[in-house]
Structure 1
Amino acid sequence: MKRMVFRLFFLVVLALVLGCASEQEKSNKFLADAQVSYDSGEYSQAVIQIKNAIEATPKSLPAHELLAKTYLKLGDARQAFNTLRIIEQLAPDDLDNVAQVASFYLLGRQREEAQKRVERILNE
């Protein structure tokens, strides 16, 4: 009986590990396809692929960074800003991103939010 429980436990753990690996592989494939679409100027197609990558691995920093760049290319400032704020949460030490978020806050006349980020940059 113990042996059977151990085997079942082992199979469940193995399935979870393999499932996670395949999600990362799927995300990498979607992101690679998105980069090809982005490089060829097919930004709407790139957004679809990037969103698929993010669905597979929600905390993927490269996927969010490419998504923000793609939204900027599409002229969708609102979505770019929302994505930059997600990046700010995922990588709070990325000062280039913090500066971009501050710029968006300035454009939106939210000076206090912009000032917080500028002070953070200056203190680093």
Structure 2
Amino acid sequence: MRTNVPQYFSYMYGTEYEAVNNIISGKHNHNVPCAVCYTSTKSVKLMIPARTSCPSSWTTEYKGYLMTNYYDYKSNKVYECVDENPESIDGSEGNDDGALIYFTVSTCNGLPCPPYVSNRVITCVVCTK
């Protein structure tokens, strides 16, 4: 038993890909590695949802899918653009169900359609300049 743990606390979990096999095969329940998008020659990074290419004069770093935690979880959402060919931590498949990320699906209720398409997984692109 741990000592000196406050009465009200929150555990920190690794993050797992969840319900992704229909688009990204072989990654369900695998842990997501930490990643940093770094370039020594560019000073601005931009993530654009609902696109797969960057504006002219910008460089495409990668494209993929917009992901976040489950829609019904009562928390602030942080949306991440996950590479279309994601990596996972070797030997990490485990189904711990700590922190989970899911594909983000669009709705035309409050989002402009196009570029969004109702009830479709949202793509994204990360650009630098």
What TM-score results when the alignment is normalised by the length of structure 1? 0.25
Q: Which has a greater percent of helix? A: 1
Q: Which has the larger radius of gyration?
A: 1
Structure showing the higher strand proportion among its residues: 2
